[in-house]
Structure 1
Amino acid sequence: MTDLTTQFSIHLAKDTFKFNASHFVAYPGFRERLHGHNYRVAMTLIGSHEIGRDGYVLDFGCVKSVAKKVCKEMNEYFLVPTLSDVLKITIDEGGDSYLCGQCEDNSDHIDKKLKSTHPGTVTIQCEDGSRFIFPRQDCLLLPIMHSTCEELAIYVYSQLLKGLNRDYLESHGVSAMEVTVSESTGQDATFRRQIPSREENGEAFDVSSYITKSPIPAMPCSIESEAA
């Protein structure tokens, strides 16, 4: 007889679950310097008191394939928190532009319009007056407010859920998932929640719903010299 108090889960933290990216965290009254991390991702999928007839909670191979794809899509970008409440972000998706140049007969008093493709830019104006301009193709626009490990874990969770498919998870009795994003050894954040229903899917990944509206308390320590 099956013991209903038991529960199965699987945990994956492979060396291939990684991505390199640059970012800075900004919130009212504070902005980090631009820097980067070698991020790593791990996940735990919580099943039921039974495993499938195939002997699995889920096939490791399927989960690994999806996780590697998610990490690859985040690799070597500047992470842009498009929902930031302190950064003014202007996105130019690019298009055709025209440059002036000499005519073929070198009569430089006559302008010839040379058509070129403008790759686009992302301009970020910061609260402290700093201004950054990045090539659009080097930026990953994310539906988060801060590019912290906590909010990146929410985003990675949403992408893993999309890749694994809710129906597939439900058919295997997976009820919850936990995602950990690490920015360096011993420094990580974890997001855990039940697998959202179709009705609540959009709300489940609205990062603002997880952020308190309370004032930011003063820190009891200085972080100006913190490097990693």
Structure 2
Amino acid sequence: MANSPQYYVRVTKDHLVFSAAHFITFNGNICERLHGHNWRLAVEVAGPLDENRYVFDFIALRDAAQKVVDELDHRVLLPTQHETISVVDHGHEVEARYEDRRWIFPREDCVLLPVINTTAEEIANWIAGRLLEQWDESARRSITRLQTEVEENFGQWAICRHDGPFA
């Protein structure tokens, strides 16, 4: 064989879903109404085979993905880096504002994401970062690519791919 094989592992399970509300802005000055989705997560990792002859342990990958899904499930996802959406954490509650609109949420119902907009693309990127934070240096060093996919609605996926090294 002329080329070396490349190996990938992928997890997506019926339980790797989260129900979460969000709203986004688009076209400069349009802000959606607050609404929710039943989001689905898929994660793919590429790399060489290790001494066990696998790229990454399926169970470890599944469990890391589940931990992130659990952080997001039944929450309101709010962007903290948006130019025109203000998000203020008052301790027991979170206030979000856009122009003349104002929302107040219990703090425990919110995930404040360090993103510009709570699009599926940005959420996929944030999830990739959370996964990498969970893995030790050895695990991060062993992978050459991390791809996270977030399905916002059936058949509508946002995909974020990061190429290593990750150590």
TM-score scaled by structure 2? 0.92
Partner Cα separation in structure 1 for residue 140 and residue 96 of structure 2: 39
Q: Which has the larger radius of gyration?
A: 1
Partners of 2:143 and 2:166 within 8 A in 1:
no
Higher share of residues assigned strand: 2
More displaced, 20-29 or 66-75?
20-29
- Residue among 147, 150, 165 paired with 1:181: 150
Partner Cα separation in structure 2 for residue 124 and residue 153 of structure 1: 22
* CA pair 143-196 structure 1, distance change in 2 beyond 3 A: farther
Give per-residue Cα distances to partners, 1:152-182, cap 9 Å, x unaligned: 0010000111112342132xx4111110001
Partners of 2:144 and 2:166 within 8 A in 1:
no
- Where does residue 45 of structure 2 map in the other structure? 45
Q: How does 1:78-227 map to 2 (within 5 A)?
A: 78-93=76-91, 120-127=92-99, 129-170=100-141, 173-197=142-166
Percent of aligned pairs with the same amino acid = 32
- Residue among 56, 59, 82 paired with 1:58: 56
More displaced, 2-11 or 67-76?
2-11
Question: Which consecutive residues of structure 1, in runs of 5 or more, have no partner in the other structure?
Answer: 94-119, 199-228
Give per-residue Cα distances to partners, 1:111-151, cap 9 Å, x unaligned: xxxxxxxxx11111112x11111111111111111010000
Partner Cα separation in structure 2 for residue 132 and residue 124 of structure 1: 5
Partners of 1:63 and 1:164 within 8 A in 2:
no
Partners of 2:41 and 2:149 within 8 A in 1:
yes
Partner Cα separation in structure 2 for residue 81 and residue 197 of structure 1: 25
> How many residues are paired up?
166
Partner Cα separation in structure 1 for residue 61 and residue 143 of structure 2: 13
Deviation at 1:53, TM superposition (A): 2.2
Partner Cα separation in structure 1 for residue 114 and residue 38 of structure 2: 21
- Where does residue 29 of structure 2 map in the other structure? 29
TM-score scaled by structure 1? 0.69
Partners of 1:26 and 1:86 within 8 A in 2:
no
Question: Which consecutive residues of structure 2, in runs of 5 or more, have no partner in the other structure?
Answer: none
Partner Cα separation in structure 2 for residue 155 and residue 196 of structure 1: 18
Partners of 2:143 and 2:165 within 8 A in 1:
no
Q: Does residue 72 of structure 2 align to residue 74 of structure 1?
A: yes
Partner Cα separation in structure 2 for residue 79 and residue 142 of structure 1: 7
